[in-house]
Amino acid sequence: MLNNWLKTTLLMAAIVALFGAVGMLLGGATGMLIALLLGGAMNLWAYWNSDKMVLRMYNAQEVGPEDAPEFYNIVAELARRASLPCPKVYLIDEAQPNAFATGRSPEHAAVAATTGILRMLSARELRGVMAHELAHVKNRDILTSTISATVAGAIAALAQFGFLFGGDRERPNFIVQLVIMILAPLAATLIQMAISRAREFGADRGGAEISGDPEALAAALRKIEAYARGTPLETADLHPETAQMMIINPLSGGDMAGLFRTHPATEQRVARLLELARRGG
């Protein structure tokens, strides 16, 4: 838990420092002050609202036991097994099978799944997937991952800041052009630094412990991987910085898929889960 708080603090500090440095470069002392204020405001907003932003981005709809009884009851039962407060439960009307957890703490958490994953998986496999997401909640991964998903937006705002201080629209200076040129890889780098692939292995193991059924999650991962590759998720392709929140990489392909890939290979995850099952763990 302390490690995740440290990651989050360092990430937020890095955003403020980045804003300040570019502000100084483009606008001197005044530019640095404005940029620092903007970076601090962005951090405060992200801490309290980034989960809501991501859920809105995917047009996720909250459901209760009356709307999606099987799905909701699976989450509620697993939350009890994990000694967690029951998170808010959301559905995303998308064909691609996928799921994620978000929120700033176990007391303010939400889990979301696509309608595609509900149609494709058996109840046992869905239980394995949601146990994985609740392991993220229990491990307090969700704050870091959710704030990381706002980093690209913060850096895009920095580009607009650059235009304010770096010349006019007809003749932007070299510094502004350089800032804009490095935005996408810089966003990806910050996310890669904040989100370790080992996090997914930890959530797989934690999910297996919560559900007591590592083979169910292994089977689910195989199915999701096979179907997700051929089923685009438009929101994820438009906002690849959110891909690291999903249980399986949702990006359809191309350079951005590799740039923002923060998931370990599914084959490795399945092998570890089956070894865990073999050992009876």
Residue 37 predicted with pLDDT over 70: yes
pTM assigned to the model:
0.80
Structural domain for 57, as ranges: 48-137+197-278
Instruction: Specify the residue for token string 């990381």.
Output: 148
**246 occurs within a structural domain:** yes
Whether 20 shows a pLDDT value over 60: the answer reads: yes
Closest CA to 152 of 236, 274, 55: 236
| pLDDT tens-digit series, residues 262-278 | 688 899 999 999 999 99
> Which pLDDT value is given to residue 194?
57
- At 56, which amino acid appears? R
- Residue 109 falls inside a structural domain: yes
Q: What value does the CA radius of gyration of the chain take, rounded to a whole number of Å? A: 20
Q: Quick check: is 32 in a domain? A: no
Residue 164 forms part of a structural domain:
no
Q: Is residue 159 part of a domain?
A: no
Grade residue 50 by pLDDT with cuts at 50, 70 and 90: confident
Q: What is the 3-state secondary structure (H, E, C) of the chain?
A: CHHHHHHHHHHHHHHHHHHHHHHHHHHHHHHHHHHHHHHHHHHHHHHHHHHHHHHHHCCCEEECCCCCHHHHHHHHHHHHHCCCCCCEEEEECCCCCCEEEEECCHHHEEEEEEHHHHHHCCHHHHHHHHHHHHHHHHCCCHHHHHHHCCHHHHHHHHHHHHHHHCECCCCECHHHHHHHHCHHHHHHHHHHHHCCCHHHHHHHHHHHHHHCCHHHHHHHHHHHHHHHCCCCCHHHHHCHHHHHHECCCCCCCCHHHHHCCCCCCHHHHHHHHHHHHHCCC
Total domains, the chain: 1
Please check the confidence at residue 23 and state whether its pLDDT lies above 90.
no
Q: How confident is the model at residue 177 (pLDDT cuts 50, 70, 90)?
A: low
Distance, CA of 12 to CA of 46 (rounded, Å): 9
Asked if the structure places residue 179 within a domain, the reply is no
pLDDT tens digits for 98-114?
A: 999 999 899 999 999 99
CATH of the domain at 260: 3.30.2010.10
Q: Is residue 16 situated within a structural domain?
A: no
The pLDDT of residue 74 is above 90: yes
Determine which of 16-20, 58-62, 208-212, 257-261 has the lowest per-residue pLDDT on average: 257-261
> Does pLDDT of 16 surpass 50?
yes
- State both tokens at 272: 């570890």
Structure tokens at 112: 């979301």
Q: Catalytic annotation on 62?
A: no
Give the β-pairing of 109-114 and 99-103.
antiparallel
In a domain, 241, yes or no: yes
Q: What is the pLDDT of residues 183-226, one digit of tens each?
A: 545 655 555 555 667 889 999 999 999 999 999 999 999 999 99
Catalytic residue among 94, 133, 215, 225: 133
